[in-house]
Amino acid sequence: MRVWFLSAGLALMCMAQNAAAGTVLIVGDSISAAFGLDTRQGWVALLEQRLKSEGFNDKVVNASISGDTSAGGQARLPALLAEHKPELVILELGGNDGLRGQLPTQLQQNLASMIDSSKASGAKVLLLGMQLPPNYGVRYTQAFAEVYTRLASEKSVPLVPFFLEGVGGHPEMMQADGIHPAVTAQGKLLENVWPTLKPLL
C-alpha cells in the first residue's frame, strides 16, 4: 500500500510539473537565429540549457529569422501565437529597421502592435532593446533607442535596455562582419536577458 501511495504521489508530482510547463516564444532576427554559428551555440540554445539546469520545464520556440524586420515579425506573429500559444513572448527586433534607416515611428507602431497582440493572446511580453552605432547620427540613434523605452513605459512591459550591452562595439565579441555576435558573446547575451526574463517564467 505504501508503495502504491508513493507511486501515485510521484505521478501527481510529474503531472503538476508538466501542467506548470509553459512555452517561451522568441521572435527575433539574425542575433537570435545565431547567424553564422551552429544554432546549438546561440544564446537561445544556452537559454534552454539554463532553464533545465534551474528546474524550469518551459519549452522554447525560436521563431527568429535572419534579416527580419519589425514589419516581418508583425506579419508572422498572429500565426505563431495561434500555433504555439505561448505564456511569454520575447521580442528581439528592430536592428534591421535601424540599419535600413527606416522611420523610428514605424518601428514603434510595429512593435506596439506585436505587444498588443501578444497580450491579447494571454502572453507576457519581454522587449529586448537595441541601439545603433553612432555613425547613423545623434538624432536618429537617439530617436531609435527611445522607441524601446517609450514602449516599455506605455505598454507596461519589462525591457532589457540594450540587448547587446558589452557586446556591440567590442571587436573581440563580434564576427568578422562586425555586425553579428561571435560564439564568445552568446553567454553574455544570455546574461543580459536572464535577470529580467527569469521572474516572468
C-alpha cell at 49: 540549457
What burial letters (b/e) apply to 153-172, b meaning 16+ CB within 10 Å? eebebebbbbbbeebbeeee
Cα 70 from chain centroid (whole Å): 13
Exposed/middle/buried for residue 76 (C-beta within 10 Å: 0-12, 13-18, 19+):
middle
Helix (H) or strand (E) holding 159: strand 159-160
Catalytic residue at 29? no
Helix (H) or strand (E) holding 193: helix 186-197
Q: Which long-range contacts (CB under 8 A, 24 or more apart) does 75-84 make?
A: 76/27, 77/27, 77/114, 77/117, 77/118, 78/117, 80/25, 80/27, 81/25, 81/117, 81/118, 81/121, 81/123, 84/23, 84/25
Catalytic residue at 84? no
Catalytic residue at 116? no
The one catalytic residue in 29, 68, 121, 180 is: 180
Residue 105, helix vs strand vs coil: helix
The one catalytic residue in 29, 30, 32, 68 is: 30
List residues with catalytic annotation: 30, 177, 180
